[in-house]
């Protein structure tokens, strides 16, 4: 649960439908990425994603495949967290998450070009 998104909170009355509400599965997603274990990246990643269900598998010397389950509402946060590791992470699945990473990088690159151009023009 992302507490930063809570706008208000109040106690709910327990009703006949309360049992049905608890049976609705959360909107879970899964991301799989490969990690190069340089500069303690594996240890940092496992700590960084400690509160998510995850699985780590060694696929080569100093290379691991990490699978993390997360809630769909936290998808943007997951993109940002994964990008914070830079070239040590490579998202391999699902395609939809790979596309989110690519789009975020495109946006960052285009905004940097804008700022560089703006600085250049002001001189």
Render pLDDT for 87-120 as a digit per residue (tens, 0 to 9): 888 999 999 999 999 998 888 877 765 555 445 4
Q: pLDDT band at 25, cuts 50/70/90?
A: low
If we measure between CA atoms, which residue out of 45, 41, 107 comes closest to residue 76?
A: 107
Q: Is 84 a domain residue?
A: yes
What's the CATH code of the domain at 103?
3.30.70.2750
Find where tokens 């943007």 sit: 76
Per the structure, the count of domains in the chain is: 1
Q: What is the CA radius of gyration of the chain?
A: 19
Q: How far apart are CA 38 and CA 79, in angstroms?
A: 20
pTM above 0.85, yes or no: no
Evaluate whether residue 3 is within a structural domain: no
């Amino acid at each position: 649960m992302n507490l930063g998104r809570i706008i208000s909170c109040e106690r709910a009355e327990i009703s006949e439908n309360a049992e049905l509400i608890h049976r609705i599965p959360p909107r879970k997603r899964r991301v799989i990425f490969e990690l190069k274990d340089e500069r303690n990246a594996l240890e940092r990643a496992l700590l960084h994603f400690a509160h998510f269900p995850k699985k780590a598998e060694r696929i080569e010397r100093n290379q691991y495949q990490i699978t993390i389950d997360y809630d769909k509402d936290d998808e943007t946060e997951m993109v940002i967290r994964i990008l914070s590791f830079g070239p040590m992470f490579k998202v391999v699945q699902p395609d939809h998450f790979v596309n989110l990473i690519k789009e975020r990088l495109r946006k960052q690159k285009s905004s940097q070009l804008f700022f560089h151009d703006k600085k250049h023009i002001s001189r």
